[in-house]
Structure 1
């Protein structure tokens, strides 16, 4: 069967190809009757409409935002914080009538070809490690870019929270209750798959800037309370999963002396630590206090945590891109809030 084109329709009707094209791309240029007749003939001949890729090249826009983040797609749709952020970004995109092209980069994946080939009008970059080749490729495209959480890129808008202050608030809470045997379980420092103890050198060399800063907030609060940071047990996990949090919890709770408070940088890890405490028959908060981060999976578990405006952050990133404001290097920090629930209390006497 011969391929039906705009010219095929034009020949059938005895009009110009440009006139037929207007029926699909600029209907305001035609009378209602003529446009209706063109569409009827197009339907009769089996013409579905212009090629969207070709149309995007002609118009100079693709009608889509590229969402680039450092995780697998399966993880993103299971993680409560990521889901809240995606909902916010999708809301902004939907209001503007554009789509989202999701470009996941699992930890350790150093490819940049997905960015190079993406047909998008702008990029929202979420939590990439320092020096990732995909970020360099994004910047080389010369499209509008907004970075969320990390890394900060001078000259481009940034959306996130004050990570050092939020980390310090989480640590200061348990320190203010009187805890001095404090430990930390964290994910998102490196993308090399390591799980185990992390000394200060490894902590400070973290390639994810937001988590590096959050950890710095923990350290600042502990040192202000008179603790030697090198004496604070620090366990790193490669994946943000409840089972990884459980493993970290068991490792930390086997220490002698045992910590009376554990800080985690996600609610998911905190829930795993609570599982470990239950395995060992420890009372929370009587014998152990646990603090999470983001308030995305915490309420039902009675978890003390730092609340982030995840959906609002997603909406703000999308609107910056869609409004044209991405051309201005704004640094927008959203508020955070310490939410105290039943997982924290003074240490056992």
Structure 2
């Protein structure tokens, strides 16, 4: 019988032995080259001629060879090919905070130049020692950049136990064997405080980030100021105290308002609390631009003239603050990231830790003036 319109073809039986995926060894055998040659086509292309590399890659593509196994390579070379960045805040913080974003951009630039990956380790607050140790131990990295963490942070303790190369940015200080990139926080804040004192301000308030790993909001008393675990905030407040003492004012008269969350909203509420605590305040020194921008929002909301009735200053020199004309201290956040990456990826052959202190600049904007008569 003949069936019209349908062509029948014999069905070929499938092989019981499917074709195996190519491996580095089988590809080398097919091309009649060494395994090293195939590996170099991916990892060290400068070792091959252009024609030979193209022939290897074309054969690999045809056979479905994905390239050398990165896990096997890391086991063989004992290199993970990545840098771990330890942040003291939640992971999302690094993508919201402008200074942290600039630092991250600089570090990523150094990693890219060295052909290294970058792993962000979510060292947010509220985790215990066991969780911290697990996160750090599971990180497949060749070294760590520690970005501004408290000296009693459990993640830092876990990093130290790994005994891998480490570079610290800003804080903590004096970790044995670790290189450091930072600025003179105390001296930089002293400059801006001296400037305000020279304008005639005597009643001064400070708005700062949290002084410990615990979540506190409110007036920081003398005990809190004397034993914080965050070097940067401690030193910036000390810089203001130095300026007051040098001008004959009582450093103990300083009103310090602490905020656990680093946001513009925190700066707004802290400015309100500072003026409620001491209505005589004529100048608010904020330890970051983010807090200062919030304080400016509060002043606008309350109809307080800046700088006619109240001077407000910041610290960091982020783009938004400079656009607002904020009087601030500009620090090289992006360069910090570049230098931290460079120190980690090109360690000193002497084995001696390197300390690099970068320069800052006082920016005299439009938010500071003499106090009202």
Tell me if TM exceeds 0.5: yes
1:51 matched to 2:69? The reply is yes
2:193 alignment partner, one of 144, 150, 171: 171
Cα distance per residue 1:253-304 (max 9 Å; x no partner): 2245331001110001001111111111110001000110011131111110
CA contact (8 A) 1:292 1:303 kept: yes
CA contact (8 A) 1:304 1:341 kept: yes
Q: TM-score normalized by structure 2?
A: 0.86
Cα pair distance change 1:170/1:39, threshold 3 Å: same
List aligned pairs for 1:202-221, cutoff 5 A: 202-221=224-243
CA contact (8 A) 1:252 1:258 kept: no
1:144 matched to 2:165? The reply is yes
Deviation larger for 95-104 or 33-42? 33-42
What runs of 5+ residues in structure 2 fail to find an aligned partner?
A: 1-17
Please name the residue that 2:4 is paired with. none
Cα pair distance change 1:92/1:35, threshold 3 Å: closer
2:146 alignment partner, one of 104, 125, 144: 125
Distance 1:82 1:113 in 2: 24
Please name the residue that 1:331 is paired with. 355
1:301 matched to 2:313? The reply is no
Distance 2:367 2:25 in 1: 70
Distance 1:43 1:187 in 2: 54
Matched position secondary structure for 2:208: strand
What runs of 5+ residues in structure 1 fail to find an aligned partner?
A: none
Cα distance per residue 1:9-48 (max 9 Å; x no partner): 4565677766654554466777776655543343223221
Please name the residue that 2:342 is paired with. 319
1:90 matched to 2:108? The reply is yes
CA contact (8 A) 2:210 2:216 kept: no
Larger radius of gyration: 2
Please name the residue that 2:364 is paired with. 340
Q: TM-score normalized by structure 1?
A: 0.91
Cα pair distance change 1:244/1:33, threshold 3 Å: closer
Deviation larger for 38-47 or 52-61? 38-47
Cα pair distance change 1:36/1:337, threshold 3 Å: closer
Distance 1:100 1:9 in 2: 32
Distance 2:110 2:222 in 1: 40
Cα pair distance change 1:157/1:15, threshold 3 Å: closer
Cα pair distance change 1:330/1:40, threshold 3 Å: closer
Compute the displacement of 1:347 (Å): 0.4
Distance 1:128 1:51 in 2: 35
Compute the displacement of 1:53 (Å): 2.2
